[in-house]
Amino acid sequence: MREVQRPDLPPGRRFVQPRLDQTGTPLREVTFVVVDLETTGTRAADCAITEIGAVKVRGGQVLGELATLVDPGRPIPPAVQVLTGITTAMVVGAPRIEQVLPSFLEFVHGTVLVAHNAPFDVGFLKAALSRAGYAWPGNQVVDTVRLARRVVTRDEAPNHRLATLARLFRATTAPTHRALDDARATVDVLHALLERLAPLGVSHAEDLATAADPVPDQVRRRSHLADGLPDAPGVYLFRGPGDEVLYVGVATRSLRTRVRTYFTAAERRSRMTEMLSLATRVDPVVCATPLEARVRELRLIAEHAPRYNRRSRAPERMPWVRLTDEPYPRLSVVRDVTPGATHIGPLPSAGAARLAVEALQETFAVRRCTTRLPRRPAADAVPCVLVELDRCLAPCQHDDGRYATTVAALRSAMTGDPTAVVAAHARRLTALTAAERFEEAAGVRDRLDAYLRAASRSQRSDPLARIAELVAAQRCDDGAWELVLVRYGRLAATALVPRGHDPRPAVDALRATAEHVTAPVPPATAAHPEETDLLLAWLDRPGVRLVAVDGTWAWPVRSTAQITDPAAAVAAWQDRRPELDP
């Protein structure tokens, strides 16, 4: 793909001229082989082929024909003889199917197979190939019956039989139940159907695979938006008439292939149909690796907040559960991180944060009132009903040291061992299910799940958020090295080093050109929480090697324990990531 500046476009806007391999193969350049078979019956498992007819066409021109009778090795039933006019005497001396198949395979090599009621013809061909010891060549198959059902209405034709369509489209050859005549008639029917499909956006070979799918016309007409997209991983942005971003998505393999799926029957989401009706173009962002593509998707969603994206928007509003810093701490749901305080999260919603708070409050007798209590209890303080229910230690009335012990256990459950919370909820679940109080049990389960998700996210991401710079690498399937540089839990740079090249110079270049990242307030990371989750998942993959940490070169090492500085920040991650031999 190359960009050129056109004089009719505003400054800064460039016209993208795609390469041919980026737009697919236009139908006028596709070579079709239209095939028709005559057989001794309708079951491929126990019937045989008696005649093959095939016509090779490209761009409306006939390139060649293949026609032959085939000896089925058995008598032809009388009813079939009446229908086709092929008698047993006619096939005596004709070649057997094993002799015909090599020529047929050569004739159809590299083409798109077309047949009227293709499952019938393809089924017989696959059965014959299997019996003769040949593999199916894997040609793309187009069924003109399915295409006709898409564009020919009952008002035009009472059915979609070949003879009916041939009359409708005034085919030059009438079907006669003989293979070559029927194949010639199907050629004319195919061309007529493609003419009708062209205004619906079926213009390339790739479109034929889904041309018969029940896709709304207004959606299929916009399938040209996928033309010109590169065959590489990256992020795509659907833009509306005002150049606004409607939707952001990710393609881990091919941008063109992924965007094309929006114009097929596989896409059933009504909001996507609405989005496609508004979209005017698709902007690609090519990425070096799938990891980079997923990270860029999150960042672009956070930046543009597209109306048709439902997740990953406004990460700065994601709530945390905080243990307040006051004489008698309590739990609260907050939107920011306070230095020195204990937090877990962030969570996807305020509702999820409240569930996590309830899970901790049901385990520990921590106060739930929102007033700030003095260090010395007031003489006239009146306890609330939670004290009578043994759900609060009443620090507002007296301080016997038990509240401090409870807070210490609560802080440990937030930052380390979840055993106390899990055990308490397990006992509650057991009691409720035994009493068949399943709705209440579901609520207990949801609260425990919210707490575990919040605590695990904090405990996993906090060590990575404290590392100023971490470089890791993994071998790709083609032998190349995928390098990833992370700063404070944020992807700062990534690159691919070709197979056979020393990755060390690339690491030095990566460190010199990587994004500058400011240290965040722990336990928050410098990135979208989901971005840090992606990085942690990548680092946990088998075969990932630690290359450098905070400028300390670690390549190659047999164990990350050889890296001792900064020990406190790296140890939690190193213990889970044993190094491989280089």
- State both tokens at 326: 């006051």
Total residues found in the chain within this entry: 582
Q: Is the pLDDT of residue 565 over 60?
A: no
Calculate mean pLDDT across residues 428-456: 93
State residue 21's pLDDT score.
40
CA distance 197 to 89: 44
In the chain, % of residues over pLDDT 90 = 47
Of 139-148, 250-259, 415-424, 472-481, the one with minimum mean pLDDT is 472-481
Q: Is the pLDDT of residue 286 over 80?
A: yes
Amino acid at 411: R
pLDDT in tens, 96-125: 999 999 999 999 999 999 999 999 999 999
Which tops the pLDDT comparison, 205 or 32? Answer: 32
Q: Torsions phi, psi of 487, nearest 5? A: -125, 115
Find out whether 97 and 73 touch, Cβ atoms under 8 Å: no
Task: Show contacts of 171-174: CB within 8 Å, 24+ apart.
Answer: none
pLDDT in tens, 67-96: 999 999 999 999 999 999 999 999 998 999
State residue 387's pLDDT score.
65
Q: Is the pLDDT of residue 447 over 50?
A: yes
pLDDT in tens, 206-250: 777 776 666 666 677 777 888 888 989 999 999 999 999 999 999
pLDDT band at 7 (very low <50, low <70, confident <90, very high): very low
Average pLDDT of the chain to the nearest whole number: 83
pLDDT band at 374 (very low <50, low <70, confident <90, very high): low
Q: For the chain, give me the number of helices (H) and strands (E)?
A: 21, 18
Q: Exposed e or buried b for every residue in 294-321, given b needs 16+ CB within 10 A?
A: bbbbbbbbbebebebbeebbebeebbbb
State residue 365's pLDDT score.
86
pLDDT in tens, 310-339: 876 677 788 999 998 888 888 999 988 888
In sequence order, what DSSP letters do the residues of 281-350 get, joined into one string? Answer: EEEEEE-SSHHHHHHHHHHHHHHH--TT--SS--GGG--EEEE--SSS--EEEESS--TTSEEE---SSH
pLDDT in tens, 382-439: 666 566 666 676 667 667 778 889 899 999 999 888 999 999 999 999 999 999 999 9
Ranked by mean pLDDT, the top range of 244-258, 466-480, 520-534 is 244-258
Find out whether 197 and 147 touch, Cβ atoms under 8 Å: yes
Q: Exposed e or buried b for every residue in 463-492, given b needs 16+ CB within 10 A?
A: bbbbbebbbbbbeeeeebbbbbbbbbbbbb
Beta bridge partners of 322: 332, 343
Find out whether 494 and 293 touch, Cβ atoms under 8 Å: no
Question: Which among 329, 179, 172, 306 is positioned nearest to 246, based on CA atoms?
Answer: 306
State residue 10's pLDDT score.
42
Give the predicted TM-score (pTM) of the model: 0.63
State residue 89's pLDDT score.
92
Amino acid at 143: D
Listed in sequence order, the residues at least 6 apart from 285 whose beta carbon sits closer than 8 Å to its beta carbon are 234, 235, 236, 237, 296, 300
Q: Exposed e or buried b for every residue in 431-440, given b needs 16+ CB within 10 A?
A: ebeeeeeeee
Of 129-138, 232-241, 368-377, the one with minimum mean pLDDT is 368-377
Amino acid at 514: A
The single residue of 116, 177, 425, 501 carrying the catalytic annotation is: 177
Q: Are strands 112-115 and 31-39 parallel, antiparallel or unpaired?
A: parallel
Ranked by mean pLDDT, the top range of 51-60, 273-282, 526-535, 537-546 is 51-60
Say whether 247 sits in a helix, a strand or coil.
strand
pLDDT band at 566 (very low <50, low <70, confident <90, very high): very low
Q: Is the pLDDT of residue 351 over 90?
A: yes
Say whether 26 sits in a helix, a strand or coil.
strand
Of 81-90, 140-149, 494-503, the one with minimum mean pLDDT is 494-503
CA distance 322 to 471: 31
Question: Which among 246, 295, 250 is positioned nearest to 272, based on CA atoms?
Answer: 246
Calculate mean pLDDT across residues 451-479: 88
- State both tokens at 361: 């409050």
Which tops the pLDDT comparison, 201 or 267? Answer: 201
State residue 574's pLDDT score.
44
Say whether 211 sits in a helix, a strand or coil.
coil
State residue 381's pLDDT score.
62
For the question of residue 177 being annotated catalytic, the response is yes
Say whether 245 sits in a helix, a strand or coil.
strand
State residue 276's pLDDT score.
87
CA distance 434 to 559: 49
Question: Which among 101, 96, 90 is positioned nearest to 72, based on CA atoms?
Answer: 96
Calculate mean pLDDT across residues 302-308: 90
Amino acid at 366: V
Count the Cβ atoms, other than its own, within 10 Å of residue 443.
15
Find out whether 262 and 467 touch, Cβ atoms under 8 Å: no
Listed in sequence order, the residues at least 6 apart from 435 whose beta carbon sits closer than 8 Å to its beta carbon are none
State residue 271's pLDDT score.
84
Q: Is the pLDDT of residue 491 over 70?
A: yes
pLDDT band at 176 (very low <50, low <70, confident <90, very high): very high
Which tops the pLDDT comparison, 442 or 522? Answer: 442
